[in-house]
Amino acid sequence: MNAPGSPAGTAGYGEEAARLAVQYESVTFAEVHRELLHHYPAPPAAVLDVGAGTGRDAAALAALGHRVVAVEPTPELRAAGERLHAGTDVRWVADALPGLPLLAAEGERYDLVLLTAVWMHLAPDERPPAMAALTRLLAPAGRLALTLRHGPVPPGRHMFDLPPEPTIALAAGHGLRLHHRATRPDLHGRDGVHWSLLLFEREG
């Protein structure tokens, strides 16, 4: 089953799924999340990985004892993830931002939501409804971990290089307090690329 609609942000990912699977799996969950890991809830927690790709992070979190839902709108990446991480306790869902309608209909709330290398694919008009949808999926005091890619946009990708401040302000408008902020270089060594890491906590 495909994700609702055809998100522009997924452009190029299906065609390159095989190469991207190798790239994604060449770094570990611990490497990608090192700066934020100590802010994640202890297991068992309800965790949602939005734009899960091949499931590297989802599988690692499930192995730690979390109850994990992996959302991936690109069928080719989702299939790769289900194959690469077969046997892990991860539930895969074909859903997409900005609305995440299938998850919204389920009504579940999560202690941790990951948005790793995803937010920069959303167009300006998609970001407010996406932040609203993510906030509704967070449990009280739940945390949203979001990373932003900075640097040259690869050919054929629907991607925006935006500074952290507008996202921080948008999150604050939805009752998400900035809990931690960090930066890191690109783990794949791509020229001119670096990352912002933002961790928000839902108030109330």
Domains for the chain: give ranges and CATH numbers: 8-202 (3.40.50.150)
| Predicted local distance difference test score (pLDDT) of residue 121 | 92
Give the chain's largest Cα–Cα span.
42
| Predicted local distance difference test score (pLDDT) of residue 29 | 96
| Predicted local distance difference test score (pLDDT) of residue 128 | 98
Residue 8 has pLDDT above 60, yes or no: no
More confident residue, 156 or 66: 66
Confidence class for position 55, pLDDT limits 50, 70, 90: very high
Q: What percent of the chain has pLDDT over 70?
A: 88
Reading the block at residue 93, the tokens are 């869902």
More confident residue, 158 or 122: 122
Confidence class for position 56, pLDDT limits 50, 70, 90: very high
Residue 12 has pLDDT above 70, yes or no: no
pLDDT in tens, 133-186: 999 999 999 999 999 999 988 777 789 999 999 999 999 999 999 999 999 999
Average per-residue pLDDT for the chain:
90
Residue type, 201: E
- Over residues 5-33, the mean pLDDT reads 66
87, burial (CB in 10 Å: exposed 0-12, middle 13-18, buried 19+):
exposed
| Predicted local distance difference test score (pLDDT) of residue 153 | 86
C-alpha distances (whole Å) from 75 to each of 10, 54, 107, 190 are 10, 10, 24, 26
